[in-house]
Amino acid sequence: MKLYIKEYFENLFNIIRFDRINLIATWSCDYRCKTCQAWKRNDHMMSREQAEQIINFPGFKKITQFDLEGGEATRWLLFDWFLIKLLNTHPKLKVGIPCNGLNTDHILKLFQNIKDNADYKRIQISISLNGIGKTHDKIRGVKGGFDKTMNTLVGLKEMNYNPSINFLPIAENFDELELIKNMPYPLTLVVPSGSGKFESEEDWADYNFPEYLNAVRDHHKTLKGGWKWALQYFVDHIEKRKIMSCYGARSFIAIYPKGDIRTCIFREDKDALIGQVYDNRIDIYKDKIKQLTKEIKCGKCMYPNGHLVCGGQWIPQSIRRNIIELIRWKIGLS
């Protein structure tokens, strides 16, 4: 509770304290998903020197959660070296890794090396599934992808990792949601976002969004603990198109492959640049963060695209910290 109160006041007074980093070390990817533009970008990969700066930067000492994503993060040539060093340097840090699971042998080898050299239990791997069998392959643009991805899931479980599944609905896979729900892995139902990285809004237009939101609500009811309140708040506000808290820029940040530090993974525009990782130092633009914090609080970046609302994973995380707002909503005052 002490932590929640501290974070509430930090939010109120716009205090900058980086707590969570989302690192995209490369946009390179071996899938060709319809719902994502990442694989069409350049294959630039973050350098070892920049990665060292991130691990050792004093301004990132208070980070509690580190997400390493892409593109496909396991294609980054420094993937296992980086994670071993990160986990061993920050003994309390938790790490999240979304993974497409396509290159089974390569992925299992990397995670075996990490298991042998670091506290691997602090890693949460989430594997994206877009449906069963051919449905998955069609959406992901690679034949045989489903079987390989399933082999990776099984292999990770056998290695004692606890992989989960991420599901993003579109018209073609909507009917397979029940099958995905019955798989023996923890499940996250992604709420589509209208922002940056996922630009194919038209792919989502054909399914029943309110019906999907109800399925997400039902799924959240099966989860345990106070965390599900934040998720329920999130879904309700998306449906009603109400502005929500986002700690993007002042607490949660994203770092792109060339080292630009941004408000979140969605915002590529020049305006969202809040710092830079170089080979020999990191610069943070505090005035820019203050300006963007005000804009984010007003919801300026939350509704960029017609009917869709920003569904970034940082928003439920932010709400969970904004405990007063969460209680007000729970008792019907907001």
Sites of contact with ligand SF4 (CB under 6 A) = 29, 31, 33, 36, 38-39, 70-72, 100, 128, 195, 246, 248, 263-264, 266-267, 296, 301-302, 310, 312, 314
30 or 52: CB nearest ligand SF4 = 30
155 or 194: CB nearest ligand SF4 = 194
29 or 118: CB nearest ligand SF4 = 29
**Shortest distance (Å) from residue 283 CB to ligand SF4:** 20
How far apart CA 307 and CA 6 sit, in angstroms, is: 35
**Shortest distance (Å) from residue 164 CB to ligand SF4:** 15
Burial class (CB within 10 angstroms; exposed 0-12, middle 13-18, buried 19+) of 113: middle
118 or 170: CB nearest ligand SF4 = 170
**Shortest distance (Å) from residue 170 CB to ligand SF4:** 12
165 close to 188: Cβ distance less than 8 angstroms: yes
**Shortest distance (Å) from residue 316 CB to ligand SF4:** 11
DSSP string, 118-171: S-GGGEEEEEEE-SSTHHHHHHHT-TTHHHHHHHHHHHHHHTT---EEEE---T
Spatial CB neighbours of 62, under 8 Å, sequence gap ≥ 6:
17, 18, 19
Spatial CB neighbours of 116, under 8 Å, sequence gap ≥ 6:
none
Count of Cβ atoms closer than 10 Å to residue 81 Cβ: 16
Give the SS3 label for residue 273: strand
235 or 310: CB nearest ligand SF4 = 310
**Shortest distance (Å) from residue 244 CB to ligand SF4:** 8
- Token pair in block for residue 180: 């995905």
> What letters, b where the CB count within 10 A reaches 16 and e where it falls short, cover 207-224?
bebeebbebbbebbeeee
71 or 169: CB nearest ligand SF4 = 71
**Shortest distance (Å) from residue 12 CB to ligand SF4:** 18
